[in-house]
């Protein structure tokens, strides 16, 4: 009778579904082998299998930090170069190199000072000159990595020879244009644009032939 009871209990233990308590000390990597043969002592084998190597989690790609730009009260240095061609005569050209200072008097609105050296090619007599401009620049579109702006202003030009020829060596330089800035990382910005550039002496002298050009420019902007 005792043998029959043991057989029945053993069979129930084998066929019954295993229920693992919530706090079971056996890890998912543990296997339990049980074998029972009538007339033979039950054999239970407990084997621990090595854990599967865990794959390191892939870190998400780092996002490049974009420094705040065009914020009221900030100031930046600009280095730029430009080329201009006369509307009326393509032989009249200008090459320009200079420095600029941008101070944001409001968010997206800066007051800019430019100091430039000009190399002026014209039909009669080429010349060099020095130019200073004051402009307002409004970034009317401001995205995370780029902006688009309009700018306008005026300045003065002092040249070795008359510009244009038979004009004067002192001139005013009103101008207006548009451009973009693009984030290059490290709080450095590429600036590029185009302007209409006018050169004339505003009738301060007897002769005022004037000169109109389209100018393209590019430069780099750094935090002050």
Instruction: Give residue-wise pLDDT tens across range 32-48.
Output: 555 555 665 655 555 55
Rounded to the nearest integer, the mean pLDDT of the chain is 83
Higher per-residue confidence, 218 vs 31:
218
pTM higher than 0.75: no
From 3.40.50.1820, 3.40.50.300, 2.40.160.20, 1.20.1630.10, which CATH number describes the 75-223 domain? 2.40.160.20
pLDDT range class, residue 74, cuts 50, 70, 90 = very high
- pLDDT over threshold 50, residue 10: no
Cβ–Cβ under 8 Å, residues 56 and 46? no
Count of CB atoms situated within 10 Å of the CB of 148: 15
Domain ranges of the chain: 2-48, 75-223
Distance CA 19, CA 219 (A): 73
| Cα–Cα–Cα angle for 58, 63, 66, rounded to 5 degrees | 170
Higher per-residue confidence, 80 vs 15:
80
pLDDT range class, residue 19, cuts 50, 70, 90 = very low
Q: What is the mean pLDDT of residues 175-184?
A: 98
- pLDDT over threshold 50, residue 17: no
pLDDT for res 16? 43
Cα 117 to Cα 129, 159, 201: the distances in Å are: 6, 10, 19
Cα 35 to Cα 13, 24, 32, 46, 183: the distances in Å are: 11, 22, 10, 12, 71
pLDDT for res 7? 38
């Amino acid at each position: 009778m005792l043998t029959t009871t043991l057989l029945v209990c053993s069979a129930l233990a084998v066929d019954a579904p295993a229920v693992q308590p919530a706090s079971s000390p056996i890890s998912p990597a543990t296997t339990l082998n049980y074998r029972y043969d009538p007339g033979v002592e039950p054999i239970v084998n407990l084997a621990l299998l090595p854990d599967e190597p865990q794959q390191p989690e892939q870190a998400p790609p780092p996002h490049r930090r974009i420094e705040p730009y065009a914020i009221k009260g900030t100031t930046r240095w600009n280095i730029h170069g430009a080329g201009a061609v006369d509307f009326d005569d393509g032989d009249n050209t200008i090459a320009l190199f200079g420095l600029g200072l941008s101070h944001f008097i409001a968010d997206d609105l800066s007051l800019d000072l430019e100091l430039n050296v000009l190399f002026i090619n014209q039909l009669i007599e080429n010349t060099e000159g020095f130019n200073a401009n004051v402009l307002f620049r409004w970034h009317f579109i401001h995205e995370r990595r780029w902006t688009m702006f309009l700018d306008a202003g005026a300045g003065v030009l002092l040249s070795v020879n008359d510009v244009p020829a038979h004009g004067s060596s002192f001139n005013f330089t009103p101008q207006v244009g548009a451009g973009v800035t693009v984030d290059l990382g490290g709080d450095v910005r590429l600036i590029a644009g185009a302007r209409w550039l006018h050169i004339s002496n505003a009738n301060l002298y007897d002769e005022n032939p004037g000169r109109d050009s389209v100018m393209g420019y590019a430069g780099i902007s750094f935090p002050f």
